[in-house]
Structure 1
Amino acid sequence: MFKVTTSEIRDLIIAFIFISLSFSILYSGRNVALLRSIFPVVMIGLGLGFVLHELGHKFASMHYGYWAEFKLWPTGLIFALISSFFGFVFAAPGAVYTYAGSYLDDRTNGIISIAGPVVNIVLALVFLLIGAAIYVPAHYNTTMQFIFIVCNLGFSTNSYLAVFNLIPIWNLDGSKVMRWNIGIWIVTIAIAGIMTYFSMTMGAENLIRMIIGL
């Protein structure tokens, strides 16, 4: 049964706000007026991806019968905010901790770890498909235009979150996935990496135009 604690909800909300603010600062170029307008877009396009990423870990852990809980990493919150002023975001405001007793085998730990990045990859593709579906009406309808902007940002940021978390260093998801199955790690980070490459070179809108044949 899926359960969350009051402190976990509090930590997720704080992390959600901080990570959304950090990326808003990054994308706005520290322009306060632009930051105010872009913040709601980032909260939906990226903040949602962050929360679902963590819940992906939690669901996977609880699927195996372990209690799992998201906890803030205050240092990570500070790093996220500070790094946003230097052209990137160190996106590690907290993590889901799995309480598995004295031992958690590499396979189970790897599956729990890959769940988060996979959620981001799937969410990025969902944003891309929704963006493609509404691309034409977005030129004539302000609501559709807002949704398209969210989808554009959602594809780019969720692709980035997947790649970032799959880096096999420190305590990131990638190190645990690689320890479990290097082949699965290669395939997953390759998919996320290609998506991130397209988002950084072509941009989501041009990718959508190519998909729908415009």
Structure 2
Amino acid sequence: MFRFTSSEVRDLIIAFIVISLCFAIVQGGRNTDVILSILPIVMIGVGAGFILHELGHKFVSMKYGYWAEFKLWPQGLIFALITSFFGFVFAAPGAVYTYANYMTDEINGKISIAGPIVNIVLALIFLAIATAVYPDALYSENIALIFIICATGYSINSFLAVFNLLPIGNLDGSKVLTWNVGIWLVTILIAGILTLLSMTIGVENIVRIILGM
């Protein structure tokens, strides 16, 4: 059964708020007024990206019959806040811990890759919505807000995917690489391209290219 403990819900909420603030600091250029104004928009992208990423790990773990629970890493939250003031976010606020006496590299890899795949899918969904609403966003403030939310969601989720796929320490990428080099290469390449496009030409230009504008 897909269940949550009260401490797990608490940890997810705390991590969600702090990580949202970190991304708002990065995008707001440390301007308090800008940070507060864009925080609700950032929270939608981070909320979908962070929460569903962790739930992806939890769902696959429990699918294999293991108990899985998200636990906060306070040091990771503090480090994320510190790095946000330098223009980037080292997003490691916690992790889903899977409790098992024994686990193969394959199962561990599948559990680990679930989170980044969720982020890749979300990034593409946000991009698709942004593309669909863009022509009308030019003439409507409400639709323009939807476009901004989706553009932010695309950028954040593509970044979360490629970041978590890095084969560093206890990040997902290390476990996926141990399981299957080919699958790791394909997923980090996709996530890397999505992130690179977001950071170089920008989401609006990506949408304009898709629409042939």
TM-score by length of 2: 0.99
Could you tell me how far apart the structure 1 residues matched to 2:36 and 2:74 are?
Answer: 24
Q: Which residue of 1 aligns with 2:90?
A: 90
How many residues align? The count is: 213
Question: 1:17-37: CA deviations, max 9, x gaps?
Answer: 000001111111110110111
Aligned to 2:74: 74
Q: Could you tell me which residue of structure 1 aligns to residue 185 of structure 2?
A: 186
Query: Partners in 2 of 1:47 and 1:88 — Cα distance?
Result: 18
The within-5 A match list for 1:64-213 is 64-101=64-101, 103-213=102-212
In structure 2, the gaps of 5 or more residues are none
Distance, in Å, in 2 between the alignment partners of 1:7 and 1:147 is 33
2:118 is matched by which residue type in structure 1?
V
The one-letter amino acid paired with 2:200 is: T
Residue 47 of structure 1 and its aligned partner are, at CA, apart by 2.6
Q: Which residue of structure 2 lines up, in the alignment, with residue 56 of structure 1?
A: 56
1:144, distance to aligned residue in structure 2 (A) = 1.1
1:87 offset after TM fit, Å? Answer: 1.2
Percent identity between the two aligned chains: 68
Structure 1 distance, partners of 2:145, 2:87, is 25
TM-score (normalised: structure 1): 0.98
1:40 matched residue in structure 2:
40
SS of the counterpart of 1:136? helix
2:130 & 2:100 partners in 1: Cα distance?
A: 40
Tell me the secondary structure at the aligned position of residue 97 of structure 1.
strand
Please report how far the alpha carbon of residue 86 of structure 1 lies from its aligned counterpart in structure 2 after TM superposition.
0.8
- Aligned 8 A contact 1:19 1:47 in 2: no
Aligned residues: CA RMSD: 0.7
Distance 1:120 1:20 in 2: 15
2 CA distance for matches of 1:46 and 1:204?
17
| Structure 1: runs of 5 or more not aligned | none
SS in 2 for 1:48: helix
